[in-house]
């Protein structure tokens, strides 16, 4: 009762990073509140994943294991989550802000009439005083997130409703297993008692999901391509420079949405957060939604022919030039000095 | 969609009622220097108001259903202040058949839960076969209202939809765009679908529709002194020019579920992001400048 429950996502039989990151964060929140961290694991044939959840601090893993739950569907997953939350009354519930979390969490929060804050970039525990009533609250979850296209940072609280729910994107929190796994136990959820026929109104006809190949989070050098690169074909320049320097390739949301680069390369508020020692931004305008995901890089080099582009304001080296000319020059120069 | 000759008559005669949930939002996508205050924060009032982009993608999916099933009706539902009627008109210009503006001071201060309550009350009154909306709005960015409306209506939801690929009397088939691939699902009707930005863009304005609906308006727009002399034709003569406004009284429900009172989440604090200019070393893209940069980076072992 009154604990923190983290919804666990799985992918191809493995635990998703975002869930492990959230368990790590939940541990520090739980320590402030003097409560336990628990996990909710839904799927088919998933009991083998439980020990790793103990390693990340879950004292209880609530398991709903049923062949019908192999792939995510809103209605059965929601039914199980809602039933568990009603029974266990967590004070905080955390979900990854993935396509699953952003589908499931609002459905659950609506049913429980609780508050939900999406895409939090930070979570904290603190006090609150209601401006209108003067009522004081202690130890609320501060749900901090960008809004208004990333131009403001808002701190949201749910003073009266439970659970306090938040979704957080992958890569925002850091994952860290415990030295010694938690002394945890399993609570087996009786899915047969909860699920009804109408929960299966949606049928999955086909799935064509690639295995996760690209992960740019840990790269030390990143070449970051923006909308200014112009096309998927021209992104070859970005990849060429990356190959020359032994770097990984990132992209802005604008470039990804336009099909120039894969989703997994997206850097920014709605992509991954990266902290390389060097990032070279090519044709990136520097909108806040993007820079929020890379402005902690140690050295930022910006190549953008528009001198007014905001990226130049956060760059350490600002090249006002055409990336189509600059990149080949960079490659040639590197090769020359490498000899 | 493949239609066999046996079923063609049955399918062609089916008419669907589709409600498009749309929002008028400030254009937050590219906050240029014109919309920045001298302190480096965003000047919200200076941003133009637009039809939320992903709701446009949703509108296109709805219009495609109407293309395939003539006689179907596409209705725009939006919740907002009086001027949100502008996006209903925009919907008409693209091919929508009707619209409702949900507007009431009592809706003010609503978070996603209270918003979805108001909207679900209105949708229940409209009783559609299919509800489509954009995945998320560019001001709130939460993607919560769609699923919350679906929950309140106790109907299935399909999110991250890229295309509606099939439709029959009682089932809809949708291709979803997920992080690393696609998933094709089908659902019973009624159903709520949220549409992703990777879906087809909305068709442009239709000249005939623009001519027909140019002077469509709400009661408030008609009575607004700023519009004096604009509306020559009486809307009583041409009822299709009337854009309906609904208030709390029209949609009913527990008043405590609306607005600020019905919002579990409260904003504790807002901080403006201030653009802090850094001391940058400025270079041109010339051979010489690029070469000196690369050799400096190599000398410092940042690369190579």
Examine residue B277 and state whether it is found in any structural domain, yes or no: no
Examine residue B229 and state whether it is found in any structural domain, yes or no: yes
In chain B, the number of structural domains is: 1
Query: Using the beta-carbon criterion (under 8 Å), do A110 and B282 form an inter-chain contact?
Result: no
Domain extent at residue B112: 5-271
pTM (predicted TM-score) = 0.85
Select from B111, B181, B273 the Cβ nearest to the Cβ of A153. B273
Residue partners of A300: CB distance under 8 A and separation at least 6? A279, A281, A294, A314, A315, A316, A317
Q: Which of residues 33-72 of A touch B (CB under 8 A)?
A: none
**With 60 as the cut, is the pLDDT of residue B8 above it?**
no
Examine residue B295 and state whether it is found in any structural domain, yes or no: no
B chain contacts of residue A245, beta-carbon cutoff 8 Å: 303-304
* CA distances from residue B183 to A99, A209, B44, B165 in whole angstroms, order as listed: 12, 8, 38, 12
For chain A, the average pLDDT equals 94
Whether chain B has a CB inside 8 Å of the CB on A165: the answer is no
- Interior CA angle at B286 toward B283 and B289, to 5°? 50
Distance of CA A280 to the CA centre of its chain: 23
Q: Which of residues 6-35 of B touch A (CB under 8 A)?
A: 26, 28-31, 33
What value does the mean pLDDT take over residues B216-222?
Answer: 94
Query: Using the beta-carbon criterion (under 8 Å), do B304 and A337 form an inter-chain contact?
Result: yes
**With 80 as the cut, is the pLDDT of residue B7 above it?**
no
Examine residue B281 and state whether it is found in any structural domain, yes or no: no
What value does the mean pLDDT take over residues A259-272?
Answer: 86
B chain contacts of residue A78, beta-carbon cutoff 8 Å: 151
Examine residue B215 and state whether it is found in any structural domain, yes or no: yes
Phi, psi of A142, deg, nearest 5: -85, 120
Min Cα–Cα distance to chain B from A5, Å: 19
Confidence (pLDDT) at A218? 82
What value does the mean pLDDT take over residues A5-32?
Answer: 96
Whether chain A has a CB inside 8 Å of the CB on B173: the answer is yes
Select from B141, B184, B295 the Cβ nearest to the Cβ of A119. B141
Mutate to test the interface with A, among B116, B173, B273 (most CBs of A within 10 A): B273
Query: Using the beta-carbon criterion (under 8 Å), do A278 and B304 form an inter-chain contact?
Result: no
Confidence (pLDDT) at B280? 80
Examine residue B219 and state whether it is found in any structural domain, yes or no: yes
Between CA A43 and CA A10 the distance in angstroms is 8
Min Cα–Cα distance to chain B from A108, Å: 8
Q: Would you say how long chain A is, in residues?
A: 339
Between CA B259 and CA B108 the distance in angstroms is 5
B40: left (phi > 0), else alpha (psi -120 to 50), else beta?
left
Q: Where residue B245 sits, what CATH number does that domain have?
A: 3.40.50.620
Examine residue B190 and state whether it is found in any structural domain, yes or no: yes
Confidence (pLDDT) at B87? 97
Select from B179, B182, B271 the Cβ nearest to the Cβ of A152. B271
Examine residue B282 and state whether it is found in any structural domain, yes or no: no
Phi, psi of B140, deg, nearest 5: -85, -35
Q: Would you say how long chain B is, in residues?
A: 304
Confidence (pLDDT) at B278? 65
- Interior CA angle at A169 toward A168 and A170, to 5°? 125
Q: Which domains does chain A have, with CATH numbers?
A: 4-200 (3.40.50.620), 221-338 (3.40.50.1220)
Query: Using the beta-carbon criterion (under 8 Å), do B147 and A160 form an inter-chain contact?
Result: no
pLDDT tens digit string along A284-323?
A: 999 888 998 898 899 999 999 999 999 998 999 999 999 9
Nearest Cα to A58, choosing from A75, A39, A43? Answer: A39
Nearest Cα to A40, choosing from A70, A81, A71? Answer: A81
The CB-based long-range contact list for A256-262 (8 Å cut-off, 24+ gap) reads A257/B197, A257/B198, A258/A227, A259/A232, A260/A225, A260/A227, A260/A229, A260/A230, A260/A231, A260/A232, A260/A234, A260/A235, A261/A225, A261/A232, A261/A235, A262/A214
Residue partners of B279: CB distance under 8 A and separation at least 6? none
């Amino acid at each position: 009762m009154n604990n923190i429950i983290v919804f666990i996502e799985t992918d191809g039989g493995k635990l998703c990073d975002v869930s492990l990151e959230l368990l790590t964060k939940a541990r520090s929140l739980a320590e402030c509140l003097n409560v336990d961290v628990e996990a909710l694991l839904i799927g088919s044939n998933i009991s083998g994943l439980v020990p790793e959840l103990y390693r990340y601090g879950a004292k209880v893993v609530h398991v709903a294991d049923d062949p019908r739950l192999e792939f995510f569907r809103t209605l059965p997953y929601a039914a199980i989550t809602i039933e568990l939350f009603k029974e266990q009354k967590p004070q905080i519930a955390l979900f990854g802000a993935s396509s699953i979390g952003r589908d499931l969490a609002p459905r659950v929060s609506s049913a429980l009439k609780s508050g939900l804050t999406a895409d939090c970039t930070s979570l904290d525990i603190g006090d609150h005083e209601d401006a209108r009533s003067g009522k004081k609250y202690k130890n609320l979850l501060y749900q901090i997130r960008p809004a208004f296209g990333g131009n403001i940072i808002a701190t949201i609280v749910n003073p009266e409703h439970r659970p306090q729910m938040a979704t957080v994107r992958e890569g925002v929190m850091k994952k860290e297993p415990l030295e010694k796994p938690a002394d945890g136990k399993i609570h087996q959820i009786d899915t047969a008692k909860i699920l009804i026929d109408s929960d299966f109104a949606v049928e999955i006809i086909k799935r064509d999901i690639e295995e996760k190949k690209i992960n740019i989070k840990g790269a030390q050098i990143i070449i970051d391509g923006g909308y200014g690169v112009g096309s998927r074909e021209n992104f070859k320049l970005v990849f060429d420079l990356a190959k020359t320097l032994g770097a990984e390739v990132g992209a802005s949301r604008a470039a990804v949405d336009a099909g120039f680069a894969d989703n997994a390369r997206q850097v920014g508020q709605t992509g991954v957060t990266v902290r390389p020692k060097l990032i070279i931004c090519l044709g990136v305008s520097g909108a806040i939604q993007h820079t929020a995901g890379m402005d902690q890089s140690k050295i930022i080099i910006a190549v953008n022919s528009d001198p007014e582009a905001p990226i130049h304001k956060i760059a350490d080296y600002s090249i006002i030039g055409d990336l189509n000319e600059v990149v080949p020059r960079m490659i040639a120069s590197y090769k020359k000095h490498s000899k | 969609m493949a239609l066999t000759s046996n079923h063609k008559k049955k399918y062609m005669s089916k008419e669907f009622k589709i409600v498009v949930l749309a929002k008028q939002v400030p254009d937050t996508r590219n906050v240029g220097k014109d919309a920045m205050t001298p302190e480096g924060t965003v000047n919200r009032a200076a941003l133009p108001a637009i039809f939320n982009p992903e709701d446009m993608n949703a509108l296109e999916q709805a219009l495609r259903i109407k293309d395939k099933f003539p006689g179907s009706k596409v209705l725009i539902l939006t919740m907002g202040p009086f001027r949100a009627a502008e996006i209903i008109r925009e919907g008409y210009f693209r091919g929508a058949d009707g619209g409702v503006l949900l507007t009431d001071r009592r809706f003010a201060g609503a978070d996603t839960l209270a918003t979805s309550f108001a909207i679900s009350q209105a949708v229940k009154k409209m009783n559609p076969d299919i509800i489509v909306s954009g995945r998320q709005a560019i001001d709130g960015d939460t993607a919560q209202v769609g699923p919350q409306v679906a929950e309140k209506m106790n109907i299935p939801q399909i999110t991250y939809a890229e295309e509606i690929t099939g439709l029959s009397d009682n089932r809809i088939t949708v291709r979803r765009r997920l992080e690393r691939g696609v998933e094709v699902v089908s659902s019973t009707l009624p159903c709520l679908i949220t549409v992703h930005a990777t879906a087809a863009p909305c068709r442009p304005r239709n000249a005939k529709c623009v001519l027909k609906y140019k002077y469509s308006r709400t009661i408030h727009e008609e009575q607004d002194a700023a519009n004096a002399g604009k509306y020559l034709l009486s809307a009583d003569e041409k009822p299709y020019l009337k854009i309906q406004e609904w208030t709390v009284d029209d949609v009913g429900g527990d008043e405590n579920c609306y607005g600020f009172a019905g919002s579990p989440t409260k904003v504790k604090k807002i901080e403006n992001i201030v653009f802090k200019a850094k001391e940058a070393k400025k270079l041109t893209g010339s051979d010489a400048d690029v070469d000196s940069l690369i050799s400096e980076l190599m000398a410092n072992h940042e690369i190579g």
